[in-house]
């Protein structure tokens, strides 16, 4: 079985180029000015201009959007994961009438396209005065994050042997203490996985912030990028610099949390 792997490498290289060229183009393009970009689209910049990057970094708006995105992502994750963990605990370890019905209701949420609900949600948030309020985005994102999170956590909670719970109960542990002191610490890997999914989902969300935030000071990064493109539409290299800087947190997070992200997505896909 000594086959050459050269053709396989060739295919992998072509696909890799298709994926990487746009990203590398953005990275290098950010170091050119726009006239360089049109006269010399492929080559390295000469001279290297750092102005595009430094100007974006010096502007307060970029950092404010970064902060808004982070704030919303963290709180969305806290709300989604804590509510889901509580519900999943009950779905996994209590037997009661109507449990499967209730669980099915949550899982059915996976099939509801978010776009279907956006108009009523907007009207509702406006009525409640949550327009331009981060909580409007946080609560809605959390609600839509519940189904997948509950499914994954329930599966994990079920895999923890019943004997542990029996032993804890015999030692006088209440349900709540068991949940808090034993189950959650044991479920740390699953909690990490669902947290990563929630963070990425929130970080990249566009449609909801688009309708909720009209005031520039509450914009998240995706809104900022879209607006920046509109504002500097002729200054391509400056937009590229903004894009690259906006990619850094996402790609950095991916590098750190790759295992959890992929584990969660494939688990979600195969379970969902």
Partner 1 sequence: MTTITRKPEAGRLPAHARPTRGKRRSWVTIALFVLPALVLFLLLVVAPILVAVYASGFKWNGFGGLPTDFIGFDNFTRLFASDIFLTDMWHLLVLVLLCLVIQLPLALGIAMLLNQRIRGRAIYRLVFFAPYVLSEVITGVLFSLILSPTSGLANGILGLVGLESEFLANQDTALMSLFIVMTWKYFGFHMMIYLAGRQNIPNELLEAARIDGATGWEVFRHVTLPLLGPTIRISVFLSVIYTVQLFDLVWILTEGGPAHSTETLAVTMFDLGFGRSQVGYASAISVVMFALSLVFALGYQRFVMRRDMEGATTAMGDTR
* Contact window for partner 1 (CB under 8 A) among 52-60, 70-78, 115-123, 180-188: 115-123
∠ Cα 70 76 79 (to 5°): 140
Tell me: does residue 110 bind partner 1 (CB under 8 A).
Answer: yes
- Residue from 72, 137, 183, 221 touching partner 1 (CB under 8 A): that is 221
Tell me: does residue 57 bind partner 1 (CB under 8 A).
Answer: no
- Residue from 20, 57, 59, 256 touching partner 1 (CB under 8 A): that is 20
Please, what is the minimum distance in Å from the beta carbon of residue 62 to partner 1?
14
C-alpha torsion angle, residues 66, 71, 76, 77 (rounded to 10): 90
x-or-dash string of contact with partner 1, 144-173, rule CB under 8 A: x-xx--xx--xxxxxx--x--xx--x----
Residues 201-220 that bind partner 1 (CB under 8 A): 203-204, 206-207, 211
Tell me: does residue 122 bind partner 1 (CB under 8 A).
Answer: yes
Cis ω for the linkage preceding 228 (within 30 of 0):
no
First to last CA, the chain: 39
Nearer Cβ to partner 1 (62/179): 179
Please, what is the minimum distance in Å from the beta carbon of residue 136 to partner 1?
10
Nearer Cβ to partner 1 (57/207): 207
Tell me: does residue 199 bind partner 1 (CB under 8 A).
Answer: no
């Amino acid at each position: 079985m000594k086959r050459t792997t050269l053709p396989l490498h060739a295919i992998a290289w072509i696909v890799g180029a298709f994926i990487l060229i746009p990203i590398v183009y953005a990275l290098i393009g950010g170091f050119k000015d726009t006239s360089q970009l049109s006269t010399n689209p492929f080559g390295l910049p000469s001279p290297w201009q750092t102005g595009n990057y430094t100007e974006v970094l010096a502007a307060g708006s970029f950092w404010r959007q970064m902060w808004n995105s982070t704030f919303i992502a963290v709180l969305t994750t806290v709300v989604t994961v804590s509510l889901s963990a509580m519900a999943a605990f009950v779905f996994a370890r209590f037997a009661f009438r109507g449990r499967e019905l209730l669980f099915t209701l949550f899982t059915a949420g996976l099939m509801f396209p978010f776009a279907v609900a956006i108009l009523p949600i907007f009207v509702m948030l406006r009525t409640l005065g949550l327009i331009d309020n981060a909580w409007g985005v946080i609560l809605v994102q959390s609600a839509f994050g519940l189904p997948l999170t509950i499914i994954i956590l329930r599966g994990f909670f079920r895999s923890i042997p019943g004997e542990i719970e029996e032993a804890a109960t015999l030692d006088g542990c209440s349900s709540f203490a068991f949940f808090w002191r034993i189950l959650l610490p044991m479920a740390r890997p699953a909690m990490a996985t669902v947290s990563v999914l929630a963070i990425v989902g929130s970080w990249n969300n566009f449609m909801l912030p688009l309708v909720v935030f009209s005031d520039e000071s509450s914009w998240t990064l995706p809104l900022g990028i879209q607006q920046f493109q509109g504002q500097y539409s002729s200054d391509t290299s400056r937009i590229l610099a903004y894009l690259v800087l906006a990619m850094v947190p996402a790609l950095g997070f991916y590098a750190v949390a790759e295992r959890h992200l992929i584990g969660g997505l494939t688990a979600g896909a195969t379970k969902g």
